[in-house]
Structure 1
Amino acid sequence: MNFAARLDKVETSAIRELFKLLGKPGIISFAGGFPDSAMFDVEGLREASRLALAEQPGAALQYGATEGYDPLRAELAAFLRAKGVERIDPSGLIVTTGSQQALDLLGKTLVDPGDKVIVEGPTFLATIQCFRLYGAEVISAPIDGEGVRVDRLEELIVQHRPKFIYLIPTFGNPSGALLGLERRRRVLELAVRHQVLVVEDDPYGDLYFDAAPPPSLLALSESVPGSRDWIAYCGSLSKVLSPGLRVGWLAAPSELLARATMCKQFSDAHTSTFAQATAAQYLKAGRMPATLAHVREIYGQRARTMGEALRRELGDAIAFTQPQGGLFFWARLTGAGGKLADASELARRAIGEGVAFVPGAPFFATEPDTSALRLSFATAGLEQIEEGVKRLARALA
């Protein structure tokens, strides 16, 4: 068949391909980016879906507005206000089929072939693929343990004049990094000074382990004059409630939101009204705070266990910053003691030892780091984490 030329710019996800290797019995996987299904609030969702059908069955089962189901938009606006976004109302956001659709809509509405987009290096792999699909030249801004390096980001803005900047400031995938308050302010100031849109992706912001993170860029924009006009915010219930609902949202300046809504009409008409009605009932019931407290405690325990095990079993052969939230460790093989420093080779050896992780190179749009790797602690119990890290150490030996 004669396929579209734009498909030449992307390739199948390295992570999805890795899953094909995970059928071996007894394998321990640190490879996925999924939340733990054992922590889904099944009873709460069952009751929410019952109420969705009991109270407004016609609305829950019928076609709906492209912008989203109004009761859910109201609940999402309240959810954001509780996190410090003061100037938000339901009309300021649209509901999307997961936050991944929000990113796709931004690509559709903003990217022309040859446009430049700046992302973190490393960043969410699907984002690189999405923006490239629309013809963007994707450029990496370096990060450290505290997120994107704002000094280098500004240099890249001046050099490339990007269409927009894409950041995951809070417990990023794959980096796990947390952008500090001062850097957040500086990012917003850059947006105003250079008149460039900043896309904030925030699927993990509620998954902190101890102290709450700084306010989102969207919330902080209230205190940086002019910056609200240059922020688009992508949110999701996937990591904190259920990815199967496929409920996300996009909050953005009105003109951009209108164009994104138009493109969504052409894509799927609207996000599932039944899923939206269920999510609205769940949020209305007030169960989310208890759900979040539970998952924060469990993920925090798992993250601490993995950090301790990595330090004990791999020692100076691996370097990482202990994550303060999210689902991931981002690490680098140091080659200390003559041990392996190539993460792709280690991944192959690790499968043989019965443990899987994702090499870090695919998460870079440019200049990949072949020593980097991503480890997820989300779906493994404490004993599995301990045993999995021991297997990883054997593979590295």
Structure 2
Amino acid sequence: MLSQKSANIKSSPVRELLKYTKKPEFISLAGGIPATDMLDVDGIDTIIQDILAIDHRQMFQYSVTEGEAELRTEITKFNLHFDLHTPENNILITNGSQQAIDLLSRVFLEKGDKVLVERPTYLAALQLFSYTDAEIEEVSYQNNAIDLEALRSVLADGQVKMLYLIPNFANPTGHTLDYQTREQIVKLVHEYHVIVVEDDPYGYLRFEGEMVPSLYAIAQSMYGNNHNICYMSSFSKIFAPGLRLGWLAAPDKFLSAIVVAKQALDLHTSTFNQHIAAKYLASGRLMERLSLLQTTYKHRRDLLINALKKHLGDKLSYNTPSGGMFLWCHINLDINATDLLAACIEEKVIFVPGEVFFAKHPDKKSLRLSYSMLTNENADEAAIRIAKAIEKLQ
């Protein structure tokens, strides 16, 4: 009874691993989720009580598809702190940034098109693109950076419709595109009329180094509103993932079609949740908490790296990210990550094997470790358990 597409697309291995996170004896380095202990429950509760203290019945009514004006205005103000100009009339509120990817796929991709992704890239984006009739191709990398000459060659064949990028602290690699690469990408996609989906849920979580302007901002400075960059972000990593709130900024020439697609899907995002986010932003609490999040994640990154050095030595290699939540690792032994995960489950520690993040020809010795939930108490123990699992396989 299932369609051929649905029958062929498997559940996310990350979601499958979540059952272990409910077991207190397990240490999870798997989920790309914000630290539960960092959620501002008291602040959110205060906002909700303030809302309910007033007879705001409209907050429980239907809303406009574009999203509540108050929230779009607050997002515009918030982004100015990061040198990102997103006029409220160019913003669409979505059910997380995942829905934004879905909407853009529906609006732009059709049979015969090619969508380019980084190698490796966000698993859920690969799942979503698999539901389209477009062909998924991987962008070539050289010396840990996008090969711009190879990118030009691929774009020049005229078959590429969309380029999907996570420019800041990417999931799963933690890699960030430098300014020169971003600038060249903006020029190339403009020359070859390719749409860029700039997915940026982690950009607010930079804890080292200088901020790099978004492709969206670079394109605005070069081409005004006549560019091909659709920028999206989310409140999931910095505020409250359970509210399922994200947003998309697109140039005028694209926005109306994207809004119509959302109308067809779900009419609009939760009115009440939008008001919670709008009032939280207006209160200034999110800007205040960002520095705390950044400091905490830097500490947890360092905890993980120090534990890996201490207990695994050169058995794993990795780059050190300057923000975000992820450490991308390579196993320097004759062991693949899937077998290692099975052994780690026996030791009650979990991670995500890297092969699931590749569209083609997966690297079976890669793995993603998330440090967002790590603590002072369990960092060493997590590394010790991984080391024990490796010993079993040698």
Establish whether TM, by shorter chain, passes 0.5: yes
Instruction: State the AA in 2 paired with 1:196.
Output: V
Give, in angstroms, the shift of residue 380 of structure 1.
Answer: 1.8
Deviation string for 1:21-53 (max 9, x for gaps)? 556551111011110111111122112223333
Match of residue 288, structure 1, among 286, 290, 315: 286
Q: Which runs of 5+ in 2 are unaligned?
A: none
Normalised by the length of structure 1, the TM-score is 0.94
Which is further off, 150-159 or 228-237?
150-159
1:383 is aligned to: 377
Q: What is the TM-score when the length of structure 2 is the normalising length?
A: 0.94
1:87-143 deviations in Å (ceiling 9; x for gaps) = x31111110011111011111111113321000111110100101102221111134
> Letter of the aligned partner of 1:350 in structure 2?
C
In the other structure, the counterpart of 2:165 is: 167
Cross-structure match for 2:321:
323
Structure 1 unpaired stretches of 5+: none
**More displaced 10-residue stretch of structure 1: 183-192 or 168-177:** 183-192
Q: Which amino acid is 1:31 matched to?
A: A
State the distance in 2 between where 1:165 and 1:276 align: 29
The letter of the residue matching 1:94 is L
Task: From the superposition, tell whether residues 117 and 23 of structure 1 become closer, same or farther in structure 2 (CA, over 3 Å).
Answer: same
CA deviations over 1:270-323 (Å, ceiling 9, x no partner) = 100000001000001111121101111111000011112222222222111011
Q: Are 1:64 and 2:63 matched, yes or no?
A: yes
> Structure 1 CA distance, aligned partners of 2:325 and 2:378?
16
Q: Distance in 1 between matches of 2:116 and 2:84?
A: 25
Give the Cα separation in 1 of the matches to 2:384 and 2:328: 18
Give the whole-Å Cα distance in 1 for the aligned partners of 2:119 and 2:164.
Answer: 11
Write the letter of the residue equivalent to 1:379. Answer: M
**Where do 1:142-157 residues align within 5 Å?**
142-143=140-141, 147-157=145-155
| Residue type of the alignment partner of 1:351 | I
Measure how far apart 1:359 and its partner are: 0.2
Which is worse superposed, 228-237 or 123-132? 228-237
1:23–1:66 distance in 2 versus 1, CA, 3 Å: closer
In the alignment of these two chains, the number of paired residues is 391
Q: Structure 2 CA distance, aligned partners of 1:363 and 1:319?
A: 18
Please give the secondary structure, in 2, of the residue aligned with 1:374.
strand
Cα distance change on mapping 1:232 and 1:99 into 2, 3 Å: same
Matched, 1:361 2:355: yes
Work out the CA distance in 2 between the residues paired with 1:56 and 1:120: 48
1:19 aligns with 2:13: no
- Alpha-carbon RMSD: 1.8
Separation in structure 1 between the aligned mates of residue 141 and residue 292 of structure 2, nearest angstrom? 30
Cα distance change on mapping 1:22 and 1:248 into 2, 3 Å: closer
Deviation, 1:77, is 1.2
Structure 2 residue 364 is matched with structure 1 residue 370: yes
Is the alpha carbon distance of 1:228 and 1:327 closer, same or farther for their aligned partners in structure 2, counting shifts above 3 Å? Answer: farther
Mark the CA change 1:90 to 1:293 in structure 2 (over 3 Å): closer, same or farther: same
Identify if the C-alpha distance between structure 1 residues 84 and 25 changes in structure 2 by more than 3 Å, giving closer, same or farther: closer
- 1:228 Cα shift? 5.3
Q: Could you tell me whether the CA contact under 8 Å between 2:225 and 2:252 is conserved in 1?
A: no
Distance 2:55 2:115 in 1: 43
- CA displacement, residues 228-271 of structure 1 (integer Å, 9 cap, x when unaligned): 51100011111001101111011112232111111111111110
| 1:82 Cα deviation from its structure 2 partner | 2.3
The CA distance in 2 between the partners of 1:225 and 1:134, in whole Å, is 30
Q: Is the Cα–Cα contact under 8 Å of residues 61 and 271 in structure 2 kept in the other structure?
A: yes
SS in structure 2 at match of 1:234: strand
For 1:238 and 1:319, locate their aligned partners in 2 and report how far apart those are by CA, in whole Å: 29
Tell me, yes or no, if the aligned pair for 2:220 and 2:227 is still in contact at 8 Å.
no
Displacement of 1:198:
0.9
Q: Determine if contact 1:98/1:247 at 8 Å carries over to the other structure.
A: yes
Q: Distance in 1 between matches of 2:192 and 2:215?
A: 17
Cα 1:241–1:144, aligned 2, differ >3 Å: closer, same or farther? farther
Q: Which residue does 2:273 correspond to in 1?
A: 275
User: Are 2:115 and 1:117 aligned?
Assistant: yes
Other structure's SS at 2:139 match: strand
**Matched residue of 2:312: which SS?**
helix
Residue type of the alignment partner of 1:322: T
